[in-house]
């Protein structure tokens, strides 16, 4: 699948905004949109995606064609619009039947249909595309919520102390866990036990006396 995206037209159909950082607010928002696309497009699709922005908003001195995470980004030259560049890309495409043009501009829809490409409104395309899972975010395999990690640690410590004092272990969160062979209790060093060995027995002896 090849994509030609009318950059600012799509951006206006989303709620994507740039985070705090270097550069203008518009530059950060452009980057946020490109990252949003790159996170969800398959690798082969990123390489055949072109996002076109109007040149009058381009950073000074920026090349008219740059690549961001394998996505081609084009800025229209001064005194030209993104629509002009997109029309040329549609006209010059060698496989237009496999091309999708994302824009709400009727002029571009007509240009796409002339080449038998598929035009789609930006808002409709974004609604469908936003459901795609994140595929490429580098931190995807790292827990994003520290609270999740804390819950797991607390559960392990709870099971350890229940075993130490003869309590009943809580039911496993995953039913498959009940089918797994029992494992040796973790050592106190593994769980960073703050109490010395025999601490519980000393308390019991103290109560008995």
We report the CATH number of the domain holding residue 49 as 3.40.50
Q: What band does 189 get if pLDDT is binned at 50, 70 and 90?
A: very low
Which pLDDT score is estimated for 104? Answer: 97
Domain boundary pick from 88, 114, 137: 137
Per-residue pLDDT tens for 101-159? 999 999 999 999 999 999 999 999 999 999 999 988 754 333 333 333 333 435 555 56
Per-residue pLDDT tens for 11-30? 999 989 877 666 678 889 99
Range of the domain at 198: 146-208
Which pLDDT score is estimated for 22? Answer: 60
Q: How far apart are CA 35 and CA 37, in angstroms?
A: 5
Domain boundary pick from 83, 105, 137: 137
Which pLDDT score is estimated for 147? Answer: 36
**What is the count of structural domains for the chain?**
2
Question: Do 62 and 151 belong together in one domain?
Answer: no
Question: Is this structure's pTM higher than 0.75?
Answer: no
């Amino acid at each position: 699948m090849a994509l030609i995206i009318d950059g600012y037209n799509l951006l206006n159909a989303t709620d994507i905004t740039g985070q705090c950082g270097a550069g203008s607010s518009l530059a950060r928002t452009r980057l946020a949109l490109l990252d949003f696309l790159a996170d969800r497009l398959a690798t082969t699709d990123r390489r055949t995606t072109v996002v076109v922005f109007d040149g009058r908003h381009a950073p000074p001195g920026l090349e008219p064609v740059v690549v961001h995470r394998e996505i081609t980004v084009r800025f229209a030259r001064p005194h030209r619009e993104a629509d002009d560049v997109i029309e040329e890309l549609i006209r010059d495409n060698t496989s237009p039947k496999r091309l999708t043009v994302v824009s709400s501009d009727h002029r571009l829809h007509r240009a796409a249909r002339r080449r038998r490409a598929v035009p789609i409104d930006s808002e409709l395309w974004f609604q469908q595309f936003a459901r795609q899972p994140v595929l490429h975010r580098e931190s995807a395999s790292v827990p994003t919520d520290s609270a999740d990690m804390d819950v797991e640690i607390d559960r392990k410590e709870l099971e350890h102390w229940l075993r130490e004092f003869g309590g009943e272990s809580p039911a496993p969160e995953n039913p498959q866990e009940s089918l797994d062979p029992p494992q040796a209790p973790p050592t106190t060093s593994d769980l960073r036990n703050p109490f010395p060995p025999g601490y519980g027995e000393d308390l019991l002896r103290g109560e008995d006396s």
